[in-house]
Amino acid sequence: MTKHVAVLMGGWAAERPVSLSSGNACADALEEAGYTVSRVDVDRNVVEVLKELKPDVAFNALHGPFGEDGCIQGVLELLEIPYTHSGVMSSALAMHKVKAKAVMKAAGVPVAEERVVHRLEAAKQHVMAPPYVIKPINEGSSFGVVIVKEDQEHPPQELTRDDWPYPDVVMAEKFVAGRELTCAVMGDVALGVLEIVPMGHNFYDYDAKYVPGGSQHILPAKILPPVYQEIQKLSLKAHQALGCRGVSRADFRLDDSSTGTGELVCLEVNTQPGMTPTSLVPEIAAEAGHDFKELVSWIVEDASCGR
């Protein structure tokens, strides 16, 4: 019997456009693979919609709050609809950058030093020696990220904005110079390591992620084989420590220049990696021999409750 898959996309988070792009790409591929697909632009009435649709599987293509923080996962558990990607606890944990880092560090995954502060405190004086990065604790797609450079005399004043759209408590994290690397995990297998080179951007921000030409992707990353293998090992270790399921993606910084420290740190694990035409996981999976249709089909067949 053909499975009926409800692809959940859109929602109301800042990453709504990315989610719609991811969701429609996945829905197209699933239809091509022979599944019956319902495209659900998630709103506050999602429970009623899903009760009416009665899908066999919910493909979670939501990004940001509600979609990847354990909320929609809890709804799907309540409705007893098997769903893709990570479960309630893992999603909530991985989305909270500070708690996720504590768990990864305890598992032996290197992370950058950080401090949790109120945004107004961080605007008054440097909360750690520059260079460092200010991040919202639970946002994705680099929303709200502010880099404080080494020669920056004053802390970032955008933190005092009356219309600051993120929670007041933020994370200040030591800036690690060097290469931006990422590794996808599929089930219990770490796939390839990809290097991201932002084009015309200071770092891998929203536009570098999602605008065509915003970044160059080098796959496999041109790094020493022992370092390549270490990143694969750490990605799988982080995936397992956080309790991730299905597909995840771990992001790293590597300071391996001739004058660098050689430091390697894991920045975060993404439990709902983007599936857009410029996204990283489909590219990494393809290099490992899984085309897009095969990748999304595997994700659907991996779906379950109690994740």
| Residues labelled as active-site residues | 15, 141, 210, 249, 251, 268, 270, 274
* Rounded Cα–Cα distance for residues 190 and 99 (Å): 23
Q: Please report which helix (H) or strand (E) contains residue 118, including its range.
A: strand 114-118
* Rounded Cα–Cα distance for residues 87 and 93 (Å): 10
Q: Peptide bond preceding 273: is omega within 30 degrees of 0, i.e. cis?
A: no
Instruction: Tell me the torsion sign for CA atoms 181, 93, 96, 248.
Output: positive
**How remote is the C-alpha of 203 from its chain's centroid?**
16
* Rounded Cα–Cα distance for residues 20 and 11 (Å): 9
Q: What angle do CA 71, 73, 78 make, to 5 degrees?
A: 100
Query: Pseudo-torsion of CA 196, 202, 205, 208, nearest 10°?
Result: -60
Write the single-letter amino acid at 245.
R
Please, which residues bridge with residue 269 across strands? 250
Give the length of the chain: 307
Residue whose C-alpha is closest to residue 104's, from 301, 251, 284 = 251
**Can you give the C-alpha Rg of the chain in angstroms?**
19
User: What is the per-residue burial (b if ≥16 Cβ within 10 Å, else e) of 138-174?
Assistant: bbbbbbbbbbbeeeeeebeeebeeeeeebeeebbbbb
